[in-house]
Amino acid sequence: MSGELWSLDGWTLLVILAMALVTYATRVAGVVLVRFIPVRGRVAAALEAIPGSVLIALIAPMVLATGIAETAAAVLTLAVAFRGPPILAILTGVIAVVALRAAGL
């Protein structure tokens, strides 16, 4: 490979660093500004629902678009999650999907 492919001039580096700084500044500004804004009612409920919604959005396609092993393991994991601690649900899901895949499902 030529050295030109991996070379980085000063302006490009400056732009990359500026973009990183702006990204960091917007994130910090959000954390700082939210301290002064009261969050109540529907807004609070919506913010509390975000983690679960993101988790479902990540897991649902895998459960619904893959094979029977993943779907069965997800159902079993969900059942354990309602009755036991999170670590038990995680271990159950991992062991179930490995066992079901090994069984040929």
Same domain, 56 and 25: no
Global pTM?
0.53
Q: Is residue 57 part of a domain?
A: yes
Same domain, 63 and 105: yes
Note the pLDDT tens digit of each residue in 31-90. Answer: 898 888 888 899 889 988 999 899 889 888 888 888 899 999 999 999 999 999 999 999
Q: Total structural domains in the chain?
A: 2
Helix (H, G, I), strand (E, B) or coil at 38: coil
Q: Is residue 43 part of a domain?
A: no
Question: Range of 81's domain?
Answer: 51-105
Same domain, 61 and 87: yes
Model confidence at 6: pLDDT above 90: no
For the residues 7-36, what does the mean pLDDT come to? Answer: 91
For the residues 13-18, what does the mean pLDDT come to? Answer: 94
For the residues 18-24, what does the mean pLDDT come to? Answer: 97
Q: Are 74 and 65 in contact (CB under 8 A)?
A: no
Same domain, 29 and 57: no
Same domain, 75 and 104: yes
Q: Is residue 70 part of a domain?
A: yes
Model confidence at 2: pLDDT above 60: no
Q: Is residue 44 part of a domain?
A: no
Q: Is residue 45 part of a domain?
A: no
Question: How far is C-alpha 29 from the geometric centre of its chain's CA atoms?
Answer: 22
User: In the structure encoding, which two tokens stand for residue 83, read together?
Assistant: 């009755």
Q: Are 89 and 81 in contact (CB under 8 A)?
A: yes
